[in-house]
Amino acid sequence: MLLKFKPISKEVVWGAGEFFNNNFDYELKPKIGELWILGSNNKLKGDLKLTLAEFAEKNPDILYGRGEKPKRFPVLIKYISTLKWLSVQVHPDDKFARAFENEPWGKTEMWYFLSEADNSQIICGLSREASREEIYNLINSNSLSSILNYITVKKDEWVLIRSGVVHSIGPNISLLEIQMNSDLTYRMYDWDRVGLDGKPRELHIDKALKVIDYSENLKLTKGFREVNLEFPTFTVETIRIPDYGKIELDTEKRGFHIILSVESDLTVNSEFLRKYECVLITASEGKYKLEGPKDSYIFLIRQREG
């Protein structure tokens, strides 16, 4: 089966709705900063009228085939567009999430940059070694920025944000985020601003200090256009459409695939897929065909076997 989903929009204090209004076929509020296009709570298009979570519960063998049948669908895909800095934050790893949050896993994510302005920047990790006590003191003295690793980013570059790595997205950036399906985020600093409700947004400093992986914060995994990454429960790669414009793939009944293009429209079997849309191919589908412009790159997300 090929499944498409209705997006879910998220209004946030740092959001810039213009990217979504320019690239999707409906109007959104000006403060929209995230558009979730595939995740547990997204509803299927068409007659089924189920969320992905409900479909997975009713049809685990169709969705996952011979693959592991997780308690929650493991992938969340969203677009992010910013007008201001996001909070400086960190995500927990699987061990912490299970022990203290009753969650099946923590959160590692990948950002693929779709647009940028002059000198667009993100924060990814620390610029030097620092102890938990030093970071705590820097937060309290409003000096955390002094040890953050600022990186200038360009269109079609990507970066991996591992659990335990301090990070943030700067203004005037639009990106694709592919992440483990978790919403565990611990804010360390939020630029002394208030939320949409007019109240200061909650910080989670104690938890953040516990989950920071101090060695990982000095590493950087990034690239340009071509992606080949392994997450605990799925893989993300880019595949180039060959000169004749067609390619055949196969789930082999081992797990789901997800196809997404940020470069051009595609056809997956007989299903038309607009640029920025995605389609979930259930494990039961087996072989399927892609057609698109030659030399264009598509994202292929595969379920990993348990």
Task: State the Cα–Cα distance between residues 55 and 194, nearest whole angstrom.
Answer: 38
Task: State the Cα–Cα distance between residues 295 and 225, nearest whole angstrom.
Answer: 12
**Domain identity same for 172 and 290:** no
Q: What does each C-alpha distance from 177 to 112, 169, 253, 284 come to in angstroms?
A: 6, 11, 26, 26
Tokens representing residue 257 in the block:
């695939």
- Residue 195 neighbours by CB distance under 10 Å: 12
Task: State the Cα–Cα distance between residues 79 and 74, nearest whole angstrom.
Answer: 17
72 annotated active-site:
no
Sheet strands side by side (includes 174-180): 8-11, 32-38, 75-81, 174-180, 109-115, 157-161, 222-224
At 101, phi and psi to the nearest 5?
-120, 0
Residue ending a domain, among 203, 224, 245, is: 224
Non-local (6+) Cβ contacts of 199 within 8 A are: none
**Domain identity same for 186 and 261:** no
Task: State the Cα–Cα distance between residues 123 and 142, nearest whole angstrom.
Answer: 16
Residue ending a domain, among 201, 224, 247, is: 224
Task: State the Cα–Cα distance between residues 51 and 39, nearest whole angstrom.
Answer: 9
Percent helix, strand and coil across the chain, each rounded to 5?
15, 35, 45
Alpha-carbon 45 to chain mean position: 21
Contact 5, 50 (CB under 8 A): no
At 216, phi and psi to the nearest 5?
-65, -25
**Domain identity same for 176 and 198:** yes
Contact 296, 261 (CB under 8 A): yes
Q: What is the CATH number of the domain that holds 80?
A: 2.60.120.10
Question: Smallest Cα–Cα separation from 160: which of 203, 215, 129, 122?
Answer: 122
Predicted TM-score (pTM) of this structure: 0.95
Which pLDDT belongs to residue 244?
Answer: 83
**Domain identity same for 86 and 165:** yes
Q: Of 187, 225, 254, 304, which residue is the catalytic one?
A: 187
Residue ending a domain, among 224, 243, 269, is: 224
Question: Smallest Cα–Cα separation from 174: which of 18, 29, 9, 300?
Answer: 18
Sign of CA pseudo-dihedral 42, 47, 49, 55: negative
Structural domain boundaries, residue 292? 230-303
Task: State the Cα–Cα distance between residues 289 and 64, nearest whole angstrom.
Answer: 19
Write down the H helix ranges in the chain: 18-23, 52-58, 60-64, 94-100, 132-140, 205-211
**Domain identity same for 155 and 174:** yes
**Domain identity same for 166 and 127:** yes
Amino acid identity, residue 6? K
Kindly give the confidence (pLDDT) of every residue in the chain, 306 residues in length, as a single tens digit, with 9 standing for 90 and above: 999 999 999 989 998 877 888 888 656 667 889 999 999 999 999 877 899 999 999 999 999 998 889 989 999 999 999 999 999 999 999 999 999 999 999 999 999 999 877 788 999 999 999 999 999 999 999 999 999 999 999 999 999 999 999 999 999 999 999 999 999 999 999 998 888 888 888 999 999 999 999 889 999 999 999 999 999 999 999 999 998 889 999 999 999 999 999 999 999 998 999 999 999 999 999 999 999 999 999 999 999 876
**Domain identity same for 164 and 36:** yes
Tokens representing residue 229 in the block:
């990454």
**Domain identity same for 106 and 196:** yes
Contact 195, 86 (CB under 8 A): no
Total domains in the fold of the chain: 2
Which pLDDT belongs to residue 25?
Answer: 67
